Chain A
């Protein structure tokens, strides 16, 4: 096969066209199958009832109806077990609302502290970035132990906050989602801090020097120079953060379990899609739910970029 290709290639009148198409062929074929075909198949699948083995049965919009019914019932206060999609959606929106602002803010603050003439900048960068290089599964496993009732985190909090009573973070439905959010913030903020640090080092020194001559202190310089100059990077980090947070799966799977833990407090939309496809064996409903997730991610990131991304260009 190879020799026949090479003789064809040698004889070809326009080698560049043959070479170009050949070099991209593997990338294009694989992405055509696992990207585009899969996407259209997901669309097709969302109109069918199926169990992977038997005949596919056309059910029209029934799968979407199941999702919408779930949402309406949830809004009317149905118990969480009956409304998995609503529970997952509610949790993941709250989670995103906690994680994205805090991780972005923390990343900016740490980057601006580190962006000074100080010793050990490399040490701080490495320390903050280290969690981002570790698998979220491993991070979650370690944090379950740290979050135990007689674990290290309760010990530290009891010494830092006066009157703090140890909490059973993982097994208490009021705290589980906050525990997961804490791990997520710990795991990603350092990664974004490095992005911010790079963007800050690209800001021209002269702007800061001019402001210093005008008597602006470090805090005013931070709010009136650093933040506006970082706007494109902030938009980027928030959008990446939104995409990651809304699809959160690994941490919830380990820390809460596939069923979302006590009171479904750690249940997410991604877990629900997984359960729909592989536990309840309803791939059609899973496909419909994944389109809802896509719509949510697309609208939130689109709205954010429309509102704040303008200054990018």
Chain B
């Protein structure tokens, strides 16, 4: 075997190992989703069979029908959508306003205020949780989705992301606008906002994922079952039906995660780029 042949052989073995590892792990990461998708069309008797079965027999839509026969499940979907919508809208508007001001305008105390906001990122949410519960209680906003949304409507990491983006824009267009007599607020709405679409998109998607999946906040600030969001509702529905059937919970979990999964499948390139810029998972 010549050295060249040997090198080619090693390269080929390495490629095989690479694919073996990557495919094995892809299966590990996807399996729970595939398994639950299949099981959501099974009866509980079949889904709990050992060894596991893979073909639904009989094929049943009973699990999904059960979910939507409950009055609460569609309500939870509506509540979650309302909560996520409020959070996304609030963050898109208010954090871009703040980000623009911190990046482009001069006003007294700018740097101090900005670093004061940033240092809030270091405080674990459990420190402010109990006081915020008390504040909300005093304001009469417990068990109110609008009250809950108020807590997350201006996220500091969104402000940071927007400020970074506005800082990276070139000066000239803002200079030109000013020379044409465009004031700073007008420049925000007519120049900065339209230019910031990619960053606004990242903030929106990022906040949507966070608020759709949020658990601790809704768990603490919402009290009555008809106001629950999907994660809280499902966790309580699960506790009540723990010893009977599990398949409706699996179907419910899939319905609840469908929007985020679809959003991710459609926007994954874009989202992954956004996550890479912002880093953490909120």
Q: Which residues of A does B touch, CB under 8 Å?
A: 9, 15-17, 19-24, 26-28, 30-31, 33-39, 41-42, 45, 52, 109-110, 113-114, 116, 118, 120, 122-139, 141-146, 148, 150-152, 155, 186, 188, 190-191, 194-195, 198, 218, 236, 240, 243-244, 247, 249-250, 253-254, 270, 273-274, 277-278, 283, 286-287, 290-291, 293-294, 297-298
Considering the complex, give the chain A residue whose CB is closest to the CB of B107.
A20
Task: Determine which of B105, B130, B220, B257 lies in contact with A19 in the assembled complex, contact meaning CB atoms within 8 Å.
Answer: B105
A24 near B29 with CB under 8 A, answer no
Cβ of A20 and Cβ of B106 under 8 Å apart?
yes
Q: What CA separation (Å) do A273 and B130 show in the bound complex? A: 9
Chain B residue with Cβ nearest A32: B116
Q: Count of A-B contacts with CB under 8 A?
A: 267
Whether B125 contacts A247 by the Cβ 8 Å rule is yes
Q: In whole Å, how far is B267's beta carbon from the nearest beta carbon of chain A?
A: 10
B128 A35 Cβ-Cβ under 8 A:
yes
CB distance from A106 to the nearest CB of B (A): 8
Q: Which of A31, A118, A294 has the most CB of B within 10 A?
A: A31
Tell me if B134 is interfacial: C-beta within 8 Å of chain A.
Answer: yes
Closest to A233 in B: B279
Which of B108, B131, B250, B280 has most A Cβ within 10 Å? Answer: B131
The residue from B117, B129, B256, B279 contacting A236, defined by CB atoms under 8 A apart: B279
Q: Ordered nearest first, which 10 A-B pairs have the shortest CB separation?
A: A20-B107, A135-B213, A150-B50, A19-B184, A27-B98, A20-B105, A38-B128, A38-B131, A137-B231, A23-B101
Chain A contacts for B253, CB-based, 8 A: 138, 141-142
| Chain B contacts with A in 239-270, Cβ cutoff 8 A | 246, 249-250, 253, 256-257, 260-261, 263-265, 268-269
A contact patch SS: helix
For residue B269, which residues in chain A have a CB less than 8 angstroms away from its CB?
A: 122
Chain A, residue nearest B260 (CB): A133
- Which residues in B have their C-beta under 8 angstroms from that of A17? 106-108
Provide the residues of chain A in CB contact with B232, threshold 8 Å.
137
Q: Which residues of A contact B184 (CB under 8 A)?
A: 15-16, 19-20
Name which residue of chain A comes closest to B269, CB basis: A122
Main SS at interface, chain B: helix
Q: Tell me if B183 is interfacial: C-beta within 8 Å of chain A.
A: yes
Q: Which residues of B contact A129 (CB under 8 A)?
A: 264, 268, 272
Does B268 lie within 8 Å of A283, measured CB to CB?
no
Q: A110-B22, A118-B15, A291-B127 are known contacts. Are A138 and B132 too (CB-CB below 8 A)?
A: no
The answer to the question of B123 belonging to the interface, with a C-beta cut-off of 8 Å to chain A, is yes
Give the chain B neighbours of A113 by CB distance below 8 A.
18, 21-22
B58 at the interface (CB under 8 A from A): no
Given contacts A16-B184, A142-B253, A155-B52, contact A135 B231 (CB under 8 A): yes
Determine the residue in chain B with the shortest Cβ distance to A141.
Answer: B253
- Check B140 for interface membership: any CB of A closer than 8 A: no
Known A-B contacts A37-B131, A138-B256, A195-B279; A133 and B101 likewise in contact (beta carbons under 8 Å): no
Expressed in whole angstroms, the Cα–Cα distance for A166 and B26 within the complex equals 24
**Distance (whole angstroms) from the CB of B233 to the closest CB of chain A:** 10
B70 at the interface (CB under 8 A from A): no
Task: Give the complex CA separation of A19 and B35 in angstroms.
Answer: 54
Chain B residue, CB-CB nearest to A188: B281
Decide yes or no: A287 and B95 within 8 Å by CB, A133-B209, A186-B28 being known contacts. Answer: no
Q: Provide the residues of chain A in CB contact with B154, threshold 8 Å.
A: 26-27, 30-31
Question: What are 30 sample pairs from A and B whose C-beta atoms fall under 8 A apart?
Answer: A23-B98, A27-B94, A28-B98, A35-B117, A35-B120, A35-B128, A36-B116, A38-B128, A39-B128, A45-B134, A116-B18, A128-B25, A128-B26, A133-B257, A133-B260, A134-B213, A137-B235, A138-B256, A138-B257, A141-B253, A152-B35, A155-B50, A194-B275, A194-B276, A198-B276, A247-B124, A253-B219, A270-B126, A286-B130, A293-B126
